[in-house]
Protein backbone atom coordinates (compact mmCIF):
# COMPACT_ATOMS: atom_id res chain seq x y z
CA UNK A 1 0.00 0.00 0.00
CA UNK A 2 1.37 3.40 -0.98
CA UNK A 3 0.32 6.42 1.06
CA UNK A 4 0.50 9.78 -0.67
CA UNK A 5 0.48 13.01 1.33
CA UNK A 6 -1.87 15.42 -0.39
CA UNK A 7 -1.84 18.76 1.47
CA UNK A 8 -2.29 16.98 4.80
CA UNK A 9 -4.78 14.39 3.56
CA UNK A 10 -3.78 10.82 2.72
CA UNK A 11 -4.53 8.96 -0.47
CA UNK A 12 -4.04 5.23 0.18
CA UNK A 13 -3.23 3.39 -3.05
CA UNK A 14 -3.12 -0.42 -3.01
CA UNK A 15 -0.27 -1.77 -5.11
CA UNK A 16 -0.23 -5.15 -6.84
CA UNK A 17 2.50 -7.63 -5.92
CA UNK A 18 5.72 -6.78 -7.70
CA UNK A 19 4.73 -3.18 -8.47
CA UNK A 20 7.59 -0.72 -8.92
CA UNK A 21 7.55 3.06 -8.89
CA UNK A 22 7.98 4.62 -12.33
CA UNK A 23 8.19 8.22 -13.54
CA UNK A 24 5.04 10.15 -12.59
CA UNK A 25 2.88 11.64 -15.33
CA UNK A 26 3.51 15.19 -16.53
CA UNK A 27 0.59 17.26 -15.29
CA UNK A 28 -0.64 20.30 -17.24
CA UNK A 29 -2.12 22.55 -14.55
CA UNK A 30 -3.62 24.91 -17.16
CA UNK A 31 -6.84 22.87 -16.98
CA UNK A 32 -7.07 23.40 -13.18
CA UNK A 33 -6.78 27.17 -12.57
CA UNK A 34 -6.57 28.10 -8.90
CA UNK A 35 -5.12 24.72 -7.95
CA UNK A 36 -1.52 23.63 -7.49
CA UNK A 37 -0.02 20.19 -7.96
CA UNK A 38 0.73 18.55 -4.60
CA UNK A 39 1.52 15.00 -5.66
CA UNK A 40 1.94 12.88 -8.77
CA UNK A 41 3.06 9.26 -8.72
CA UNK A 42 2.98 6.14 -10.87
CA UNK A 43 3.60 2.42 -10.41
CA UNK A 44 3.87 -0.47 -12.84
CA UNK A 45 2.93 -4.03 -11.90
CA UNK A 46 2.75 -7.28 -13.84
CA UNK A 47 -0.70 -6.62 -15.37
CA UNK A 48 -1.47 -2.98 -14.55
CA UNK A 49 -0.09 0.54 -14.41
CA UNK A 50 -1.38 2.98 -11.76
CA UNK A 51 -1.15 6.78 -11.93
CA UNK A 52 -2.16 9.17 -9.16
CA UNK A 53 -2.46 12.96 -9.22
CA UNK A 54 -3.50 15.26 -6.37
CA UNK A 55 -4.07 19.01 -6.62
CA UNK A 56 -5.02 21.48 -3.89
CA UNK A 57 -6.61 24.91 -3.77
CA UNK A 58 -8.46 27.23 -1.44
CA UNK A 59 -11.86 26.03 -0.27
CA UNK A 60 -13.31 29.54 0.07
CA UNK A 61 -15.56 29.01 -2.96
CA UNK A 62 -16.86 25.64 -1.74
CA UNK A 63 -20.60 25.16 -1.41
CA UNK A 64 -22.71 22.00 -1.40
CA UNK A 65 -23.53 21.09 -4.97
CA UNK A 66 -20.17 22.18 -6.38
CA UNK A 67 -18.74 18.66 -6.22
CA UNK A 68 -19.99 17.85 -9.75
CA UNK A 69 -18.09 20.70 -11.49
CA UNK A 70 -14.98 19.89 -9.43
CA UNK A 71 -15.14 16.24 -10.45
CA UNK A 72 -15.66 17.32 -14.07
CA UNK A 73 -12.48 19.42 -13.76
CA UNK A 74 -10.68 16.37 -12.35
CA UNK A 75 -11.80 14.39 -15.41
CA UNK A 76 -10.47 17.15 -17.68
CA UNK A 77 -7.13 17.03 -15.84
CA UNK A 78 -6.93 13.24 -16.25
CA UNK A 79 -7.88 13.44 -19.95
CA UNK A 80 -5.23 16.09 -20.61
CA UNK A 81 -2.52 14.43 -18.51
CA UNK A 82 -3.02 10.95 -19.95
CA UNK A 83 -3.98 12.01 -23.48
CA UNK A 84 -7.41 10.36 -23.38
CA UNK A 85 -10.32 11.24 -25.63
CA UNK A 86 -13.34 10.77 -23.40
CA UNK A 87 -13.98 9.65 -19.85
CA UNK A 88 -17.31 8.24 -18.74
CA UNK A 89 -18.10 9.40 -15.19
CA UNK A 90 -20.05 7.30 -12.71
CA UNK A 91 -22.41 8.38 -9.95
CA UNK A 92 -21.09 10.74 -7.27
CA UNK A 93 -20.88 9.27 -3.77
CA UNK A 94 -21.54 11.93 -1.16
CA UNK A 95 -18.81 12.58 1.36
CA UNK A 96 -16.56 14.05 2.31
CA UNK A 97 -14.61 12.85 0.65
CA UNK A 98 -16.81 12.96 -2.40
CA UNK A 99 -15.99 10.08 -4.76
CA UNK A 100 -16.69 9.30 -8.40
CA UNK A 101 -15.57 6.31 -10.44
CA UNK A 102 -14.72 6.91 -14.08
CA UNK A 103 -13.70 4.81 -17.06
CA UNK A 104 -12.46 5.10 -20.62
CA UNK A 105 -11.53 2.52 -23.21
CA UNK A 106 -8.03 2.33 -21.64
CA UNK A 107 -8.54 3.27 -18.02
CA UNK A 108 -10.52 2.59 -14.83
CA UNK A 109 -10.23 5.13 -12.05
CA UNK A 110 -11.67 7.20 -9.24
CA UNK A 111 -11.70 10.89 -8.29
CA UNK A 112 -11.94 12.22 -4.73
CA UNK A 113 -12.70 15.70 -3.38
CA UNK A 114 -11.64 16.15 0.26
CA UNK A 115 -11.01 18.98 2.70
CA UNK A 116 -8.42 19.97 5.28
CA UNK A 117 -9.02 23.28 7.02
CA UNK A 118 -9.27 25.97 4.35
CA UNK A 119 -7.82 23.66 1.67
CA UNK A 120 -9.72 21.59 -0.87
CA UNK A 121 -7.87 18.59 -2.32
CA UNK A 122 -8.85 16.82 -5.54
CA UNK A 123 -7.13 13.48 -6.23
CA UNK A 124 -7.47 11.04 -9.08
CA UNK A 125 -6.22 7.48 -9.42
CA UNK A 126 -6.21 5.77 -12.81
CA UNK A 127 -5.43 2.15 -13.62
CA UNK A 128 -4.46 0.89 -17.07
CA UNK A 129 -4.43 -2.82 -17.79
CA UNK A 130 -6.56 -5.87 -17.08
CA UNK A 131 -10.07 -4.83 -16.07
CA UNK A 132 -10.59 -7.11 -13.05
CA UNK A 133 -7.41 -6.19 -11.15
CA UNK A 134 -7.86 -2.51 -12.05
CA UNK A 135 -11.38 -2.44 -10.63
CA UNK A 136 -10.23 -4.24 -7.46
CA UNK A 137 -7.33 -1.80 -6.95
CA UNK A 138 -9.57 1.20 -7.65
CA UNK A 139 -12.23 -0.02 -5.22
CA UNK A 140 -9.62 -0.63 -2.46
CA UNK A 141 -8.14 2.88 -2.73
CA UNK A 142 -9.29 5.49 -0.21
CA UNK A 143 -8.76 9.13 0.77
CA UNK A 144 -9.06 10.79 4.17
CA UNK A 145 -10.94 14.05 4.63
CA UNK A 146 -12.17 16.47 7.24
CA UNK A 147 -15.76 17.74 7.06
CA UNK A 148 -16.46 20.23 4.28
CA UNK A 149 -16.28 23.88 5.36
CA UNK A 150 -19.46 25.89 5.68
CA UNK A 151 -20.01 28.16 2.68
CA UNK A 152 -19.61 31.92 3.18
CA UNK A 153 -22.56 34.34 3.28
CA UNK A 154 -22.12 35.57 -0.31
CA UNK A 155 -21.80 32.06 -1.74
CA UNK A 156 -24.76 30.86 0.34
CA UNK A 157 -26.86 33.73 -1.02
CA UNK A 158 -25.81 32.92 -4.58
CA UNK A 159 -26.61 29.21 -4.28
CA UNK A 160 -29.95 30.01 -2.61
CA UNK A 161 -30.78 32.45 -5.42
CA UNK A 162 -29.88 29.84 -8.02
CA UNK A 163 -31.99 27.20 -6.27
CA UNK A 164 -35.03 29.51 -5.91
CA UNK A 165 -34.94 31.99 -8.82
CA UNK A 166 -38.57 33.19 -8.63
CA UNK A 167 -38.43 33.89 -4.90
CA UNK A 168 -35.06 35.61 -5.35
CA UNK A 169 -36.39 37.81 -8.17
CA UNK A 170 -39.42 38.79 -6.07
CA UNK A 171 -37.22 39.57 -3.05
CA UNK A 172 -34.83 41.70 -5.15
CA UNK A 173 -37.77 43.55 -6.77
CA UNK A 174 -39.31 44.33 -3.37
CA UNK A 175 -35.92 45.48 -2.07
CA UNK A 176 -35.48 47.78 -5.12
CA UNK A 177 -38.97 49.28 -4.62
CA UNK A 178 -38.24 49.84 -0.91
CA UNK A 179 -34.91 51.57 -1.67
CA UNK A 180 -36.55 53.77 -4.35
CA UNK A 181 -39.36 54.70 -1.93
CA UNK A 182 -36.85 55.58 0.81
CA UNK A 183 -34.84 57.76 -1.59
CA UNK A 184 -37.96 59.58 -2.79
CA UNK A 185 -39.24 60.09 0.76
CA UNK A 186 -35.87 61.40 2.04
CA UNK A 187 -35.05 63.65 -0.93
CA UNK A 188 -34.98 67.37 -0.36
CA UNK A 189 -38.14 69.11 -1.44
CA UNK A 190 -38.22 72.59 -2.94
CA UNK A 191 -39.66 75.25 -0.68
CA UNK A 192 -43.01 76.61 -1.78
CA UNK A 193 -43.41 80.33 -1.32
pLDDT in tens, the chain (193 residues): 899 898 889 999 999 999 999 999 888 888 888 889 999 999 999 989 999 999 999 887 777 778 888 888 888 888 888 777 788 899 999 888 999 999 988 889 999 999 998 899 999 999 999 889 999 999 999 999 999 888 766 667 777 788 888 988 888 888 889 888 888 888 887 887 6
State how far the Cα of 178 lies from the Cα of 156, in Å rounded to an integer.
23
131 and 53 within one domain: yes
DSSP of 120-173: EEEEEEEEEE-HHHHHHHHHH-EE--PPPPPPPHHHHHHHHHHH-HHHHHHHHH
Query: 58 and 34, same structural domain?
Result: yes
Are 83 and 102 in the same domain? yes
* N residues, the chain: 193
Do 136 and 160 reside in the same domain of the chain?
no
192 located within any domain: no
Distance CA 177, CA 175 (A): 5
Structural domain includes residue 167:
yes
Amino acid sequence: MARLDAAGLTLAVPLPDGAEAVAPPDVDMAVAPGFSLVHAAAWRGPDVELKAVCVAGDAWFWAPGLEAPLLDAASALVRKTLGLGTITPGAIRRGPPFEQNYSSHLLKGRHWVGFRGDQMVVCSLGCEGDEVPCEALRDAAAMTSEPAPEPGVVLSAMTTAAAHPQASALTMSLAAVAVAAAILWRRPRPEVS
